[in-house]
Amino acid sequence: MLDRIPRIELLAGPTPLERMARAGAAVGHDGLWIKRDDVMSLGLGGNKVRSLEYWLGEAATTGGDMLVVAGAPASNQCRLVAAAGARMGIETLVLYAGDEPGALGGNAMLTRLFGARIRWLGPVTEVERGRRAAQVVEELRAHGRRPYLIGNPVVAALGYVRAAQELAEQVGALDLRHVLLPGSMGPTEAGFIFGSAVIGAPWTVHLVSVEYPEEELRRRVATLVKELQARTGIVPPKDPMATVRMDMDELGAGYGVATSSSRDAAAFFATHEALVLEQTYVAKTFASLLRQVRQGAIAPDEPACVLHTGGVPALFAQQAG
């Protein structure tokens, strides 16, 4: 459905869809599944790879000769941009908020390993970081470069429009009723919701907030859904947001802060399925699955799938629960 939009392929094929048999048996539900976007060949994988296919496609059509991305040192996005730059042979500049530490670990270490140039911006707010990134891009252009600034959320969301179609093709005759994914900045969520509506998917999408209050999360996602419709020219037969459920029960103290239930979920799925979940983002989504199954909100005869969005390197900076 997106054939006319520029895309550079980074995925070798569909990511795995696996049944979580032991986990399901432990909670009395034999229809629990996982869509493994943590299993990709590029840079330890994660949801931003799908976004990068379209960011790089746009960069190519605009004549970009280098990639610029800004974020925190723990950013999965910065890691994967650096990895994509290494694979494609494109120079990458990463702008990190904060002061340079004595040693790099986790995602920042991998970013440097992939050959990206790193510039430290000092202690800056998210707004200031964005302003500085735009300033750096203008400086590069003044010196004859053609930088592409990573981050357009509508372009990013296109990757998960495709992912919804991919999942529908994988499930086949399985009557998948629920899909759970983390609720945060919005592109992954909006793309998947929009894509699901376009193909008439039968499942309910559960957004498990890991960052925002319900009204803010819904506003962000709904705005991106409308922008996707304008970008693609595709009008879904029904309102994409009509069947979306917002789950605020795993938010805890907010973004980047683990909860007792997220730690428990990380331990549960590690010991039952050998899954690796970082504890502040994707583990909250798995915690929601466990809670809803145990409480009967997801019935035993209703197959459910969690979208594992990756972020595994962040785990190495977290304490085991």
* List of residues 6+ apart from 138 with CB closer than 8 A: none
Shortest CA distance to 303 belongs to which of 30, 35, 37, 36?
30
- Runs of H (alpha helix) within 89-152: 106-113, 126-142
**Is the Cα torsion angle 271, 274, 280, 282 positive or negative in sign?**
negative
Strand partners, 178: 204, 304
Active-site residue 75, yes or no? Answer: yes
Q: How far apart are the first and last CA of the chain?
A: 43
Given 41, 51, 75, 288, the catalytic residue: 75
Identity of the residue numbered 31: G
Separation between Cα atoms, residue 157 and residue 7, nearest integer Å? 13
Separation between Cα atoms, residue 168 and residue 234, nearest integer Å? 18
217 in Cβ contact with 232 (< 8 Å): no
195 in Cβ contact with 162 (< 8 Å): yes
* List of residues 6+ apart from 305 with CB closer than 8 A: 17, 32, 33, 34, 35, 167, 171, 176, 178, 179, 180, 203
Q: Where are the beta strands (DSSP E) in the chain?
A: 17-19, 32-36, 66-71, 91-96, 117-120, 147-149, 178-183, 204-209, 245-247, 304-308
Point out the residues that are catalytic. Answer: 75
